[in-house]
Amino acid sequence: MASGFFALLDDIATIMDDVAAMTKITTKKTAGILGDDLAVNAEKASGFVSSREIPVLWAITKGSMLNKLIILPLAFLLSAFVPWAVIVILVLGGLYLAYEGAEKIYEVFVPHEKEATVALKKDYSDEELVDLEKTKIKSAIVTDFILSVEIVIIALGSVVEEPLITQIIVVSIVALIATVGVYGIVAMIVRMDDLGLKLIGKSKENKGVLFSIGTFLVWALPKLIKSLSVIGTIALLLVAGGIFVHNIEFMHHFLEQIPSILRDFIVGLAAGAVCLLLVNGVKFLLPQKKSKH
C-alpha cells in the first residue's frame, strides 16, 4: 500500500518535471505572439480618462479570461481526437501572422488612403462616454480572441506529442501567463504617464530627481508603445517563419547555412509578402463601393 502511494508521488513528480521543462520551451516559442499581444493591448487600453484606465483594463482582462475558457477545451478536443488538425491550424495561423507582419511593414512604406472618420466632439455626455468605452472594450476583446487562438495553438503544437495531461497543464499555464502577465505589464505601461505627472507635481520648482524621472516617464510612454509595435511586427514574422520551418517537411533544411533567427525572418517575410499580394489582388478584383458624398 505504502509502496503504491510513493510510486504515485514519483509519477506526479515526473509529470511536474516534464511540465516545467515543456512550459519553459513553450513559453519561449509563444514569446513572439506575447510581444505582439502586449503591443496591441497597450495601444487598445490607452486613450481613456485616467480614472477609467484600470477599470477598462480589468474589463478587457475578464474578457480575455473568458476567451481562454472557450478556446482551451476546443483545442484539447482537437488534440485528443484529430491531432493532425493542430498542425494544419498552426500553419494556417502562421500564414495569418506572416500576412499581418508584412501588412504592417507595407503600411509604413506604401501610402494608404485614409478612411473617412467622424469628427469627434470635445464634450461628450455620460451616456456617450459609456458607449465609446464599451465599443473600445469589445474591440479589444475581439482582438484578444484572435491572438489567444494563435497563442494556444502554438503552445499546443509544441507539446502535441506529449501525453494529454501534460498538454492540458502546459497549455493552460501558458494561457494564464498570456493573460495575467500581458495585462499586468499593460497596466503598468498605461499608468506610466500618470506616475510621471505625480512625480513632476511632487518636485520642487520643477527641478531635481523627481522632476527628471517624471518628465522621462511622460516622454517615454508614446515612444514605448511605438517601439513595442515595431518589436511585435518583427516577432510576428519570426514566429511565422519558425512555424513553417518546423512544421513543413520540405522546409526543414531550407537555408540551414545561415543563423536560424535570420532564416525564420526571411521565411516569414516571404510568406507574408505572398499572402499580402494575394489579398491585395483579390481586393483589387472585387468591385469597390463608391463613397457617398
Which of 33-47, 74-88, 209-223 bottoms out in mean pLDDT, i.e. has the lowest? 33-47
Structural domain includes residue 119? yes
Number of other residues whose CB lies within 10 A of the CB of residue 218: 17
Residue pLDDT, tens place only, 9-32 = 444 445 455 556 556 656 566 666
Q: Which amino acid, residue 150?
A: E
Structural domain includes residue 172? yes
The pLDDT of residue 138: 83
H or E segment and range at residue 102: helix 83-109
Structural domain includes residue 293? no
Q: Is the dihedral of CA 128, 55, 175, 11 positive or negative?
A: negative
Summarize the confidence of residues 110-122 as an average pLDDT.
49
Task: State the DSSP string of 135-148.
Answer: HHHHHHHHHHHHHH
Structural domain includes residue 290? no
pTM for the whole thing?
0.67
Summarize the confidence of residues 220-245 as an average pLDDT.
80
Q: What are the residues whose beta carbons fall under 8 Å from the beta carbon of 136, sequence distance 6 or more?
A: 44, 47, 48, 56
Which of 21-35, 41-55, 59-73 bottoms out in mean pLDDT, i.e. has the lowest? 21-35
Structural domain includes residue 44? yes
The pLDDT of residue 220: 84
- For residues 240 and 101, the answer to whether their CB atoms sit within 8 Å is yes
The pLDDT of residue 87: 82
Structural domain includes residue 292? no
Task: State the DSSP string of 223-250.
Answer: HHHHHHHHHHHHHHHHHHHHHHHHHSGG
- For residues 47 and 190, the answer to whether their CB atoms sit within 8 Å is no
**What is the residue range of 235's domain?**
2-285
Residue pLDDT, tens place only, 167-219 = 888 888 888 887 887 788 887 877 787 788 888 888 776 777 888 888 888 88
Residue pLDDT, tens place only, 235-250 = 778 878 888 888 788 8
Q: How many domains does the chain have?
A: 1
pLDDT at 266 over 70: yes
Residue of 82, 2, 42, 10 whose CA lies nearest to 226: 42
Residue 169, class by beta-carbon neighbours within 10 Å (0-12 exposed, 13-18 middle, 19+ buried)?
Answer: buried
Structural domain includes residue 247? yes
Structural domain includes residue 291? no
Residue 244, class by beta-carbon neighbours within 10 Å (0-12 exposed, 13-18 middle, 19+ buried)?
Answer: buried
> What pLDDT band is residue 269 in, cutting at 50, 70 and 90?
very high
The pLDDT of residue 120: 43
